[in-house]
Protein backbone atom coordinates (compact mmCIF):
# COMPACT_ATOMS: atom_id res chain seq x y z
CA UNK A 1 0.00 0.00 0.00
CA UNK A 2 1.49 3.28 -1.07
CA UNK A 3 1.55 6.19 1.38
CA UNK A 4 0.46 9.53 -0.13
CA UNK A 5 3.04 12.24 0.46
CA UNK A 6 1.76 15.83 0.65
CA UNK A 7 3.85 18.94 0.00
CA UNK A 8 4.70 20.98 3.08
CA UNK A 9 4.18 24.61 2.13
CA UNK A 10 5.64 25.85 5.41
CA UNK A 11 9.03 24.23 4.90
CA UNK A 12 11.92 26.35 3.63
CA UNK A 13 12.54 25.84 -0.07
CA UNK A 14 15.50 23.81 -0.93
CA UNK A 15 18.21 25.57 -2.84
CA UNK A 16 21.11 24.17 -4.67
CA UNK A 17 24.62 25.27 -3.89
CA UNK A 18 24.82 27.09 -7.23
CA UNK A 19 21.65 29.05 -6.50
CA UNK A 20 22.93 29.95 -3.05
CA UNK A 21 26.19 31.16 -4.50
CA UNK A 22 24.58 33.27 -7.22
CA UNK A 23 22.10 34.97 -4.85
CA UNK A 24 24.67 36.18 -2.35
CA UNK A 25 26.28 39.70 -2.98
CA UNK A 26 29.74 39.98 -1.46
CA UNK A 27 30.13 42.76 1.11
CA UNK A 28 33.16 44.22 -0.75
CA UNK A 29 30.99 44.92 -3.80
CA UNK A 30 28.35 46.56 -1.63
CA UNK A 31 30.98 48.82 -0.05
CA UNK A 32 32.44 49.69 -3.45
CA UNK A 33 29.01 50.60 -4.79
CA UNK A 34 28.32 52.73 -1.71
CA UNK A 35 31.64 54.58 -2.07
CA UNK A 36 31.04 55.09 -5.79
CA UNK A 37 27.63 56.60 -5.06
CA UNK A 38 29.15 58.86 -2.40
CA UNK A 39 31.90 60.02 -4.76
CA UNK A 40 29.39 60.68 -7.53
CA UNK A 41 27.22 62.75 -5.19
CA UNK A 42 30.21 64.68 -3.86
CA UNK A 43 31.47 65.41 -7.38
CA UNK A 44 28.02 66.57 -8.47
CA UNK A 45 27.81 68.88 -5.46
CA UNK A 46 31.29 70.23 -6.13
CA UNK A 47 30.46 70.87 -9.79
CA UNK A 48 27.30 72.73 -8.78
CA UNK A 49 29.28 74.83 -6.30
CA UNK A 50 31.90 75.71 -8.93
CA UNK A 51 29.21 76.63 -11.45
CA UNK A 52 27.45 78.80 -8.89
CA UNK A 53 30.75 80.48 -7.95
CA UNK A 54 31.57 81.20 -11.60
CA UNK A 55 28.13 82.68 -12.18
CA UNK A 56 28.49 84.87 -9.10
CA UNK A 57 31.96 85.99 -10.20
CA UNK A 58 30.64 86.86 -13.67
CA UNK A 59 27.79 88.83 -12.12
CA UNK A 60 30.17 90.75 -9.85
CA UNK A 61 32.44 91.56 -12.80
CA UNK A 62 29.52 92.85 -14.85
CA UNK A 63 28.25 94.95 -11.95
CA UNK A 64 31.70 96.34 -11.29
CA UNK A 65 32.15 97.25 -14.96
CA UNK A 66 28.76 98.98 -14.99
CA UNK A 67 29.62 100.96 -11.86
CA UNK A 68 32.95 102.01 -13.35
CA UNK A 69 31.24 103.14 -16.54
CA UNK A 70 28.71 105.19 -14.57
CA UNK A 71 31.47 106.66 -12.41
CA UNK A 72 33.53 107.54 -15.48
CA UNK A 73 30.55 109.22 -17.12
CA UNK A 74 29.77 111.14 -13.93
CA UNK A 75 33.39 112.29 -13.59
CA UNK A 76 33.72 113.55 -17.17
CA UNK A 77 30.28 115.15 -17.08
CA UNK A 78 31.19 116.96 -13.86
CA UNK A 79 34.51 118.00 -15.40
CA UNK A 80 32.76 119.46 -18.43
CA UNK A 81 30.26 121.33 -16.28
CA UNK A 82 33.01 122.79 -14.10
CA UNK A 83 35.04 123.85 -17.14
CA UNK A 84 32.04 125.47 -18.81
CA UNK A 85 31.17 127.31 -15.61
CA UNK A 86 34.74 128.67 -15.51
CA UNK A 87 34.67 129.81 -19.13
CA UNK A 88 33.57 133.42 -18.40
CA UNK A 89 36.23 133.76 -15.71
CA UNK A 90 38.96 132.34 -17.95
CA UNK A 91 37.87 134.61 -20.79
CA UNK A 92 38.04 137.64 -18.50
CA UNK A 93 41.49 136.65 -17.28
CA UNK A 94 42.84 136.08 -20.77
CA UNK A 95 41.24 139.09 -22.44
CA UNK A 96 41.52 141.69 -19.69
CA UNK A 97 43.63 140.72 -16.67
CA UNK A 98 46.49 139.00 -18.51
CA UNK A 99 47.22 141.92 -20.86
CA UNK A 100 47.28 144.33 -17.91
CA UNK A 101 49.61 142.05 -15.96
CA UNK A 102 51.90 141.71 -18.94
CA UNK A 103 52.03 145.48 -19.32
CA UNK A 104 52.55 146.01 -15.59
CA UNK A 105 55.52 143.63 -15.57
CA UNK A 106 56.89 144.67 -18.93
CA UNK A 107 60.01 146.32 -17.53
CA UNK A 108 60.70 143.28 -15.34
CA UNK A 109 60.42 141.10 -18.44
CA UNK A 110 62.82 143.37 -20.29
CA UNK A 111 65.28 143.34 -17.40
CA UNK A 112 65.25 139.55 -17.18
CA UNK A 113 65.84 139.37 -20.92
CA UNK A 114 68.34 142.18 -21.29
CA UNK A 115 70.53 142.16 -18.18
CA UNK A 116 72.28 138.84 -18.96
CA UNK A 117 73.09 140.23 -22.41
CA UNK A 118 74.35 143.54 -21.02
CA UNK A 119 76.72 141.76 -18.63
CA UNK A 120 78.39 140.04 -21.60
CA UNK A 121 78.73 143.19 -23.70
CA UNK A 122 81.04 146.16 -23.28
CA UNK A 123 78.41 148.36 -24.89
CA UNK A 124 75.67 148.90 -22.33
CA UNK A 125 73.19 151.07 -24.21
CA UNK A 126 70.16 149.18 -25.44
CA UNK A 127 68.44 150.17 -28.67
CA UNK A 128 64.78 149.44 -27.95
CA UNK A 129 62.20 149.47 -30.75
CA UNK A 130 58.47 149.29 -30.05
CA UNK A 131 55.09 149.90 -31.65
CA UNK A 132 53.86 153.52 -31.59
CA UNK A 133 50.99 152.47 -29.29
CA UNK A 134 53.50 151.28 -26.66
CA UNK A 135 55.85 154.27 -26.71
CA UNK A 136 54.15 156.27 -23.95
CA UNK A 137 53.76 153.23 -21.72
CA UNK A 138 57.38 152.16 -22.17
CA UNK A 139 58.65 155.66 -21.48
CA UNK A 140 56.65 155.76 -18.27
CA UNK A 141 57.74 152.29 -17.20
CA UNK A 142 61.40 152.79 -18.12
CA UNK A 143 61.47 156.05 -16.20
CA UNK A 144 60.70 154.11 -13.03
CA UNK A 145 63.99 152.20 -13.19
CA UNK A 146 67.62 153.12 -13.64
CA UNK A 147 69.19 149.73 -14.30
CA UNK A 148 68.73 149.76 -18.06
CA UNK A 149 70.25 152.51 -20.25
CA UNK A 150 67.76 152.46 -23.12
CA UNK A 151 67.43 154.39 -26.38
CA UNK A 152 63.75 154.07 -27.27
CA UNK A 153 62.31 154.52 -30.75
CA UNK A 154 59.14 153.43 -32.52
CA UNK A 155 58.50 151.28 -35.57
CA UNK A 156 55.13 151.79 -37.33
CA UNK A 157 55.06 148.21 -38.64
CA UNK A 158 55.22 146.71 -35.13
CA UNK A 159 52.02 145.49 -33.48
CA UNK A 160 51.16 146.49 -29.95
CA UNK A 161 53.16 144.46 -27.44
CA UNK A 162 55.95 143.70 -29.90
CA UNK A 163 59.42 144.89 -28.87
CA UNK A 164 62.82 144.39 -30.46
CA UNK A 165 66.07 145.35 -28.83
CA UNK A 166 69.61 145.47 -30.14
CA UNK A 167 72.61 145.14 -27.90
CA UNK A 168 75.91 145.32 -29.71
CA UNK A 169 75.65 143.00 -32.68
CA UNK A 170 72.89 140.90 -31.16
CA UNK A 171 69.19 141.44 -31.74
CA UNK A 172 66.38 139.93 -29.68
CA UNK A 173 62.62 140.23 -29.80
CA UNK A 174 59.92 140.11 -27.14
CA UNK A 175 56.44 139.71 -28.61
CA UNK A 176 53.91 139.97 -25.80
CA UNK A 177 51.10 140.33 -28.32
CA UNK A 178 51.96 137.01 -29.97
CA UNK A 179 52.20 135.34 -26.57
CA UNK A 180 48.80 136.71 -25.56
CA UNK A 181 47.33 135.67 -28.90
CA UNK A 182 48.67 132.15 -28.40
CA UNK A 183 47.12 132.02 -24.91
CA UNK A 184 43.78 133.18 -26.29
CA UNK A 185 43.97 130.65 -29.15
CA UNK A 186 44.73 127.77 -26.78
CA UNK A 187 41.90 128.81 -24.46
CA UNK A 188 39.43 129.01 -27.33
CA UNK A 189 40.53 125.61 -28.67
CA UNK A 190 40.14 124.05 -25.22
CA UNK A 191 36.50 125.10 -24.86
CA UNK A 192 35.73 124.22 -28.48
CA UNK A 193 37.02 120.69 -27.81
CA UNK A 194 34.78 120.46 -24.75
CA UNK A 195 31.75 121.51 -26.77
CA UNK A 196 32.59 118.95 -29.45
CA UNK A 197 32.92 116.19 -26.82
CA UNK A 198 29.54 117.14 -25.39
CA UNK A 199 27.94 117.20 -28.86
CA UNK A 200 29.22 113.68 -29.59
CA UNK A 201 28.24 112.36 -26.16
129: domain CATH number is: 3.30.2320
Would residue 2 count as lying in a domain?
no
In the predicted structure, residue 6 carries a pLDDT above the cut 60: no
In the predicted structure, residue 187 carries a pLDDT above the cut 70: yes
Question: Which residues span the domain enclosing 145?
Answer: 105-180
Taking residues 50-61, report their average pLDDT: 78
Given a contact cutoff of 8 angstroms between Cβ atoms, the answer to whether 102 and 180 are in contact is: yes
Tell me the pTM: 0.40
Banded model confidence at residue 31, pLDDT cuts 50, 70, 90: confident
Would residue 201 count as lying in a domain?
no
Banded model confidence at residue 147, pLDDT cuts 50, 70, 90: low
| 80 strand-pairing partners | none
Would residue 195 count as lying in a domain?
no
In the predicted structure, residue 154 carries a pLDDT above the cut 90: yes
Split into its structural domains, the chain has a count of 1
Q: For 82-108, write each residue's pLDDT tens digit.
A: 666 666 666 666 565 556 666 666 666
Would residue 79 count as lying in a domain?
no
Would residue 175 count as lying in a domain?
yes
Angle, helix 135-142 to helix 106-120, in steps of 10 degrees: 70
Lowest mean pLDDT among 28-32, 64-68, 69-73, 134-138: 69-73
DSSP SS3 for 26? coil
Would residue 44 count as lying in a domain?
no
| 54 strand-pairing partners | none
In the predicted structure, residue 79 carries a pLDDT above the cut 60: yes
Distance, in Å, from the CA atom of 69 to the CA atom of 57, rounded to the nearest integer, reads: 18
Would residue 87 count as lying in a domain?
no
Amino acid sequence: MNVLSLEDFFAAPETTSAEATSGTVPSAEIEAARLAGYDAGYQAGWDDALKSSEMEHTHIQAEFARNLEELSFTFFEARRQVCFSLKPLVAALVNHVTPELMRAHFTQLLEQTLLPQIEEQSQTTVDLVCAPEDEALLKELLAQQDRLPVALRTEPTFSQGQVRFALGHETHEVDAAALLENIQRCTTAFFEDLQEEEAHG
